């Protein structure tokens, strides 16, 4: 299975670089708005240690309780100078602007850095993967990312990654900062594989997360659609594990260029599932962004929409 079946050499190299270049680095991110607290190599009993950044809005006060947005690929959120592609989401600027305009409630953002080579095994939903046949699972575990390197470093550990967030990181955040720890005020967001694990998190822990924003959700899991059983099993899992629409929010989006060209048909199927199970304009939003590609630059331009949807005033 080669990503060259869908993309030219330049794009193939670009997206493989994303996987192997998002590594834990010694540099700490700096922000232009709000305050950033950095926790180096946050230890876990479930997954490998990783850095965690906690963004606090301007005028953060310990006597005020704040909703919390947990985000994946944390090293790509705040400071482009420390990133391999010199791009960032601009979370600090966008969130502070939305708060100042009273579009969203003041909130805390927790950026969970990915673990580099373990990113795919952390983010691919385990229960969906394990519904595949043993042959399909074995074939996918040996998919090459580039050269002789496997895309997956081993068995899926997304269930362990979510346990880390729910049972270790969230209690630490709630005890260290002034949060609203309940389900209606706890959210998750990510892009690409981060969108996939955000969807999985709210389905697995509907009592913990009240909403999920899934940008450029990477339904294919790998970089080709040829003989790829992942999208179908992801959608089947989604159909059978959706949380109650009365108490949950879903945001999805996709662009139309580079890797995002793969997503529209799968997102349309996901939208049908949401509609069939009672989701509507009040608790679900899917947006298409023509001309936008698969990059932090693109997600930065539209982060205002998921933030405004999940954290509306």
Reduce the secondary structure of 7-59 to three states and give it as a string.
CCHHHHHHHHHHHHHCCCCCCCCCCCCCEEEEEEEECCCCCCCEEEEEEECCC
pLDDT digits (tens, 9 = 90+) for 228-258: 999 999 999 999 999 999 999 999 999 999 9
User: 277: Cβ–Cβ under 8 A, 6 or more apart, which residues?
Assistant: 239, 242, 245
- Predicted local distance difference test score (pLDDT) of residue 86: 86
- Predicted local distance difference test score (pLDDT) of residue 291: 98
Residue (of 156, 225, 177) closest to 70 by Cα position: 177
Q: Mean pLDDT for each 10-residue chunk of the chain (313 residues)?
A: 43 46 61 95 97 97 98 94 87 97 97 95 98 96 85 95 98 98 98 98 98 98 95 98 98 98 98 98 98 97 98 92
pTM of the model: 0.93
The ranges assigned to domains in the chain are: 3-310
CATH code given to domain 3-310? 3.40.50.1820
- Predicted local distance difference test score (pLDDT) of residue 17: 46
Where do runs of H (alpha helix) occur along the chain? Answer: 9-21, 91-100, 119-123, 126-130, 134-141, 158-163, 170-176, 193-204, 230-241, 264-276, 296-302, 304-310
- Whole-angstrom Cα distance, residue 296 to residue 87? 6
- Whole-angstrom Cα distance, residue 88 to residue 94? 11
- Predicted local distance difference test score (pLDDT) of residue 26: 52
- Predicted local distance difference test score (pLDDT) of residue 203: 98
């Amino acid at each position: 299975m080669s990503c060259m079946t869908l993309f030219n050499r330049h794009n193939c190299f670009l997206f493989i670089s994303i996987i192997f270049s998002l590594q834990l680095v010694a540099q700490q991110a700096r922000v232009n708005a709000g305050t950033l607290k950095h926790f180096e190599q946050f230890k876990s009993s479930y997954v490998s240690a990783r850095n965690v950044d906690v963004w606090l809005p301007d005028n953060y006060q310990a006597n005020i309780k704040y909703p919390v947005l947990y985000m994946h690929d944390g090293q790509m959120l705040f400071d482009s100078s420390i990133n391999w592609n010199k791009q960032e989401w601009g979370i600090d600027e966008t969130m502070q602007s939305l708060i100042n305009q009273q579009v969203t409630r003041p909130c805390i953002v927790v950026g969970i850095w990915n673990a580099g080579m373990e990113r795919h095994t952390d983010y691919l939903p385990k229960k969906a993967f394990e519904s595949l046949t043993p042959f399909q699972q074995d074939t996918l575990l040996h998919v090459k990312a580039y050269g002789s390197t496997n895309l997956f470093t081993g068995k899926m550990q997304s269930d362990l990654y979510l346990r880390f967030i729910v049972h270790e990181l969230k209690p630490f955040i709630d005890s260290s900062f002034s949060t609203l720890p309940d389900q209606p005020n706890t959210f998750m967001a990510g892009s690409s594989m981060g969108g996939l694990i955000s969807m999985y998190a709210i389905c697995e822990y509907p009592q913990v997360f009240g909403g999920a924003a899934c940008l450029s959700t990477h339904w294919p899991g790998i970089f080709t659609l040829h003989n790829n059983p992942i999208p179908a099993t992801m959608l089947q899992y989604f159909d059978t594990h959706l949380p109650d629409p009365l108490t949950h929010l879903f945001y999805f989006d996709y662009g139309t260029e580079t890797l995002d060209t793969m997503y529209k048909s799968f997102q349309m199927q996901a939208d049908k599932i949401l509609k069939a199970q009672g989701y509507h304009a009040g608790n679900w939003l899917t947006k298409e962004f023509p001309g936008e590609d698969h990059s932090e630059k693109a997600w930065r331009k539209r982060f205002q929409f998921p933030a405004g949807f999940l954290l509306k005033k």
